[in-house]
Amino acid sequence: MTTFNLNDPALEPIGAKVLAGERLSREDGLTLYGSYDLIGIGQMADHVRRGINGDKVHFMVNRHINPTNICRNRCKFCAFARSKGEEGAYEMTLDTIVEAAKEGAADGAYEIHIVSGLHPDWSYEFYVDMVRRVREALPPHVIVQAFTAVEIEHMAIISGKPTIEVLRDLKDAGLDALPGGGAEIFSDRLRAAAWEKKTTSDVWLRIHAEAHSLGIATNCTMLYGHIETIEERVDHMVRLREQQDASGGFLAFIPLAFHPANTEMSDLPATTGFDDLKTLAIGRLMLDNIPHIKAFWIMLGLKVAQLSTVFGVDDLDGTVVEERITHMAGATTPEALSKDDLIATIRETGHTAVERDTLYKVVRVYDAESC
């Protein structure tokens, strides 16, 4: 019979729920965050992870494209955005975007991941053409995952269309999936303090529900380690869980560690490995209806990401290539990893490395005999 070695008595009722397969409450989430028994929390999260995903740890070969950093919002927590004409501002042409996508596919990518600033001058047709041209340039097996809910709302504003019509147009053009960015923390207090121009929580959730209704799979995120409270973190997870109960289209939950350097919040400390691992583990325990928990190694670093595979994580994301957003906020991780590096990183943990596409279709399993 499975048991947990819990050093914190407050975790024992939660451990009993985990073993019984019962859903944890908001209060359970707060208890987990209040505990210093990181190993005990990790044991419970690893038990849940193995029940859902066995011994597999997923990764993918993908290519990130950030077409512009020119953005009308200029949120306080963002080091990526620039205003038009400002030093460091850039914008890619459609031809350049398509060439980058083709290069990614030629390098074996199964996903082209496109996230950008809210350019004040780009037309709605430009965005639709971007998806169409990228889709036409790629082999059928390569997934086009593009545009956060924030970008979808921006397209609705400039086109005068409802967001669900924007999603239909993009799907018709070749969009396969949405990334989970832009959720930040579902809190009116935090939105007013740090991203007041950004999509509201209700609209972000509605856009993802609309995507799910159209058969467009999405991910979901939580930006933590800035000025949020533990209660706000837990409430964020509960709202994601409720949305998944309702629409069922979230593939993975991705906690994103805040990088304060080069932002208007640069006086804040970086997250700790302790908090990173605890947050990933609590995500696995609270989000019982989301199949995958992803540690985005770009933000966490390879060592913490590797450790996370025994703290509830079953996905380390991908090779990435030329990630700009986190690195402009001071990330010191590499901008890309090779497939061999990712496989070796996973194998060192004793898990089975599984290459996947965006929708978690298995591309190849790298067991002990594979090379």
DSSP state of 248: -
**318 or 51: whose pLDDT is higher?**
51
Query: Hey, CA dihedral for 332, 218, 319, 323, is it positive or negative?
Result: negative
- Range in 24-28, 33-37, 129-133, 188-192 with the lowest mean pLDDT: 188-192
- Average pLDDT over the chain, rounded to whole? 91
pLDDT exceeding 90 applies to what percent of the chain?
Answer: 77
DSSP β-ladder status, 292-293 and 62-65: unpaired
Q: Which residue has the higher pLDDT, 3 or 99?
A: 99
pTM of the model: 0.92
Q: Are strands 352-356 and 362-366 parallel, antiparallel or unpaired?
A: antiparallel
**Among 226, 137, 162, residue whose Cα is nearest residue 190:** 226
pLDDT in tens, 50-70: 999 999 999 999 999 999 988
- Residue 337 clears pLDDT 60, i.e. is over it: yes
pLDDT exceeds cutoff 70 at 167: yes
Length reported for the chain? 371
Q: Kindly list the structural domains of the chain, giving each domain's residue range(s) and its CATH number in brackets, ordered by start.
A: 56-366 (3.20.20.70)
Q: How confident is the model at residue 76 (pLDDT cuts 50, 70, 90)?
A: low
How far is the C-alpha of 312 from the C-alpha of 291, rounded, in Å? 11
Q: How far is CA 128 from CA 193, 214, 260, in A?
A: 33, 17, 33
Tell me the helix, strand and coil percentages in the chain, rounded to 5.
Answer: 45, 15, 40
Instruction: Name the band, by pLDDT with cuts 50, 70 and 90, for residue 323.
Output: very low
Q: Name the DSSP letter for residue 184.
A: -
